[in-house]
């Protein structure tokens, strides 16, 4: 039986994809650093998984992953979409997704229906959320909005045999 490697949903052999990857590399590094602050153990697990992908011959992505400046398994780009209330199924309960919203828009809220919370969600907002646990939605906005949703995939960590992080604990910050 042959080894099945995680695969990219983007063809990074295309010059435009490589240009995009280069253009977002600083943003990817910043978002990864935010994760290192809000959940250091998850950051470490993401880093170990990325290193495993980089160092495993045959994944087909070794060269690309040296340009991938993120500990997250992937990024979804959501442009000008209203999102119905949902939970993300391909993650783990104790993992954070990071949502970065950009554009020229207004009147936007991130809704967390299960908590009865509506958060102002203006351009430049960065939110760490357990997307598998918390139902979330964007019911409306005015203008042009893009959301970069950074996430980790359970199956990629399983493939890399990287131990899962635990829930975030304040003890991670004890000096």
Domain ranges for the chain, please list them: 75-150
Mean pLDDT of 141-152: 95
pLDDT tens-place string over residues 83-111: 999 998 888 888 999 999 999 999 999 99
What b/e sequence results for 35-52 when a residue is b if at least 16 CB atoms lie within 10 Å of its CB, and e otherwise?
Answer: bbeebebbbbbbbbbbeb
Proportion of the chain above pLDDT 70, given as a percent: 87
pLDDT at 160: 87
Residues 10-62: tens digit of each pLDDT: 556 677 777 888 889 999 999 999 999 999 999 999 999 988 888 887 666 55
Average pLDDT, the chain: 86
CA-CA distance, 89 to 113, in Å (whole number)?
A: 17
Q: Where are the alpha helices (DSSP H) in the chain?
A: 15-23, 25-38, 40-55, 62-65, 154-160
* pTM of the predicted model as reported, rounded to 2 decimal places: 0.85
CA torsion sign for 20, 91, 156, 6 is negative
Q: What is the pLDDT of residue 45?
A: 93
* DSSP helix/strand/coil, 175: coil
The pLDDT score that the predictor gives to residue 2 is 37
Architecture of domain 75-150: Sandwich (2.60)
Mean pLDDT of 110-114: 95
Looking at residue 12, the DSSP 8-state letter turns out to be: T
């Amino acid at each position: 039986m042959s080894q099945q490697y995680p695969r990219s949903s983007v063809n990074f052999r295309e010059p435009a994809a490589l240009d995009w990857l280069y253009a977002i590399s600083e943003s990817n590094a910043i978002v990864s650093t935010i994760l290192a602050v809000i959940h250091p153990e998850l950051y470490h697990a993401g880093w170990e998984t990325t290193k495993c992908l980089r160092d495993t011959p045959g994944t087909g992505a070794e060269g690309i992953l040296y340009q991938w400046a993120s500990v997250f398994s992937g990024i979804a780009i959501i442009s000008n979409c209203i999102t119905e209330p949902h939970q993300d199924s391909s993650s783990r309960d104790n993992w954070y997704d990071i949502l970065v919203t950009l554009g020229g828009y207004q009147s936007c809220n991130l809704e967390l229906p299960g908590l009865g919370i509506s958060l102002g969600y203006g351009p430049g907002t960065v939110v760490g959320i357990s997307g598998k646990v918390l139902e979330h939605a964007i019911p409306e906005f005015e203008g042009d909005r893009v959301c970069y949703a950074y996430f980790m995939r359970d199956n990629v960590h399983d493939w890399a045999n990287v131990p899962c992080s635990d829930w975030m604990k304040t003890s991670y910050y004890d000096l």
